[in-house]
Amino acid sequence: MITATEFPQPAASVSATAAAASPVLRLTDIEKVYQTKTIETLALHRVNLTINRGEFVSIMGPSGCGKSTLLSLMGLLDEPTSGTIEVDGRAVTSFSDRELAGLRNLKIGFVFQSYHLINDLSVVDNVELPLLYRLGLGGRERRQRALAALDKVGLSARTGHFPGQLSGGQRQRVAIARALAGDPEIILADEPTGNLDSVMGEEIIELLLELNREQGVTIVMVTHDLQQALKTQRVIRFFDGSQVG
């Protein structure tokens, strides 16, 4: 578990407070249409949303209402059909593909319902993986960062295990460590407890809450669990591709 002494960053928490109202992500008039041969799906419609630095926001809504689509746009993994996405006040369309990939790698950590770990790699190698794309990071530093991230999620004793040797909750902790190793400003979590029982799910939520509180990581989490959502600072509800509350 994370303790205050593991995150001795008073400057960071002061700046997180001071910057509480500064938008890190802003979506304006977003439409997302998926076109297949036979069907056109309006997945998002007139979405206007601002995520401020240091916030922990949950996204709720029925299956198929566009939550994962929204997260993939926020994570710069996909582009809207129309509308504007701004990161730190700069329109994403003004970035080159290369800048965009760099921005995604440096700024954003992803956590998915099904963990997306590589079963043939050890826990620590999985956590190191996104750091391979960081120019200027040597092997030793990568390993140190990965071990530090695993320590933060309470998995120091499991670094040499393989994903198949871990419980679901532990696997999700590895995925969170992988997101954390890159020191991201934003974590986008798509139903991070969807495959977990309520006890393990609770642990993961507590971990995310601590990361938000202690490190000021901005978190956007999709969840179907109202109790979890109510622990976060803001709940945004979607229905049929539009924000309803």
Q: Which residues bind ligand ATP (CB under 6 A)?
A: 34, 36, 41, 43, 61, 63-69
- With CB under 5 to 8 Å by kind, the binding choice for 43 among ligand ATP, Mg ion, none is ligand ATP
Name which position in 68, 72, 105, 242 contacts Mg ion (CB under 5 A): 68
Query: Tokens 């020191």 label which residue?
Result: 183
Of 62 and 139, CB closest to Mg ion: 62
* Residue 157: partners with Cβ closer than 8 Å, 6 or more residues away: none
Q: Which among 25-33, 62-70, 137-145, 208-216 is the span making contact with Mg ion, rule CB under 5 A?
A: 62-70
The distance of closest approach from Cβ of residue 94 to Mg ion in the complex, given in angstroms and rounded to an integer, is: 29
CB 227 within 8 A of CB 216: no
Report residue 227 as tokens: 């109790």
Is the Cβ of residue 47 or residue 155 nearer to Mg ion in the bound state? 47
**Least CB distance to ligand ATP at residue 229 (A):** 14
Do the beta carbons of residue 161 and residue 120 sit within 8 Å?
Answer: no
Q: Is 153 exposed, middle or buried (0-12, 13-18, 19+ CB in 10 A)?
A: buried
Residue 42 or 148 having the CB closest to Mg ion: 42
Q: How far apart are the C-alpha atoms of 96 and 75, rounded to whole Å?
A: 16
Our finding on whether 195 is near Mg ion (CB under 5 A) is no
Q: Which residues contact 16 (CB under 8 A, 6 or more apart)?
A: 53, 54, 216
Using N-to-C axis directions, what is the helix angle for 139-152 and 168-181, rounded to 10°?
A: 130
Q: How far is the CB of 29 from ligand ATP (least distance, A)?
A: 18
160 binds, among ligand ATP, Mg ion, none (CB under 5 to 8 A by kind): none
Binding site for Mg ion (CB under 5 A): 68
